[in-house]
Amino acid sequence: MVNTEAFIERAVERIKREVKGRAIIAVSGGVDSSVCAMLAYRAIGDLLTPIYIDTGLMRAGETERIRETFKEIGLEIIDAKERFLENLKGITDPEEKRKTIGETFIRIFEEEARKREIRYLIQGTIYPDRIESEGGIKSHHNVGGLPLRIEFERIIEPIDELYKDEVREVARKLKLPTEISERMPFPGPGLAVRIIGEVTEEKLDAVRRANTIVEEELLESYKPWQTFAALLERGTGVKGDVRVHGWIIAVRAVTSRDGMTAEVLQLPWETLQRIESRITREIPNVTRVLYDLTPKPPATIEFE
């Protein structure tokens, strides 16, 4: 990409040329789909139907921020929180969990497209996604990582020649908020992969609150590639002289160039202690906090 403004102009022209009816896009809150939604709106205005499927697996305040950011382009929020929780009930296997989330997502997306009889799909596939799927590393990158069972007249991928840093540049130029343009990587399956075992409302609430605390303490001060909290199993503790079988929270903070390998951030002891004390004080059912010392490899960045 030589020039960001020229790219934006070309992308808008291309969408105008290729879309000959109503188009749909799934906005996830990540930078890729956000940039595509903005480009598509510039190109076709109200012919665009941007939808956001609220999985209930996002971090605190994320859905509200997305609603606010995309209000003017007419973002529709599909509340699917219960459906995701219901489908995830009893599932403990990490792969099955991911598959269930992807499948639920894609089926809801299809329903929404079908209902509206939309013939054009806009997707935020970027260059590395294309290379990965061509190389057979993962199945063709699609809205939920799975093939759609619905035929679109055309699928348009306006940023499929860009790398992530170029997408961020376009996002800045489009004046997207920094929470989007500079957002650290967040997995598609959301907080579900930061919960070991079955996903329940109670665990989601605890891990969501822990993620907020960890981000507040580390994001600005240490600028890690990624930092988050994961909920492990239960462990025995005492709170107010009472024995409690509470949750164990693991804190993770890593540096990385591309997510393929990662080094653990060497945090000052005082910072770690402050995080521990905030998590155990502010979240009632947490009795233990750990700091993950494992680089990638042998661990992955996420816990599942």
Chain residues that interact with ligand XMP, rule: CB under 6 A = 98, 185, 187-189, 226, 259, 296, 300-302
Shortest approach of ligand XMP to residue 132 CB, angstroms? 11
Q: How far is the CB of 246 from ligand XMP (least distance, A)?
A: 26
d(CA 193, CA 300): 12
**Smallest distance from ligand XMP to CB 111, Å:** 22
Give 52 or 120: the residue with its C-beta nearer to ligand XMP. Answer: 52
Q: How far apart are CA 142 and CA 109, in angstroms?
A: 11
Closest CB to ligand XMP among residues 50, 144: 144
Q: Which two tokens stand for residue 247?
A: 């949750």
Least distance CB 108 / ligand XMP (angstroms): 17
When the beta carbons of 185 and 237 are compared against ligand XMP, the nearer one is 185
In whole angstroms, how close is the CB of 137 to ligand XMP at the nearest point? Answer: 12
User: Do the Cβ atoms of 88 and 198 come closer than 8 Å?
Assistant: yes
For residues 269 and 50, what is the distance between their CA atoms, to the nearest angstrom?
A: 45
Which CB atom, from 41 or from 186, has the smaller least distance to ligand XMP? 186
Range 64-73 contact pairs with CB under 8 angstroms and sequence separation of 24 or more: 65/29, 65/177, 65/179, 66/27, 66/29, 69/34, 69/176, 69/177, 69/180, 70/27, 70/34, 70/37, 73/37, 73/38, 73/41, 73/48
Between 129 and 217, whose beta carbon lies closer to ligand XMP? 129
DSSP reduced 3-state for 45: helix
Shortest Å, Cβ 98 to ligand XMP:
6
Q: Provide the minimum distance between the beta carbon of 190 and ligand XMP in the complex, in angstroms, as a whole number.
A: 9
Task: Report the helix count and the strand count for the chain, using DSSP H and E.
Answer: 10, 9
- Rounded Cα–Cα distance for residues 123 and 28 (Å): 11
Nearer to ligand XMP, 65 or 296 (CB): 296
Integer angstrom CA distances of residue 50 from 41, 111, 122, 152, 264? 9, 14, 9, 16, 37
Query: Judged by CB, which is closer to ligand XMP: 69, or 226?
Result: 226
Distance CA 274, CA 100 (A): 36
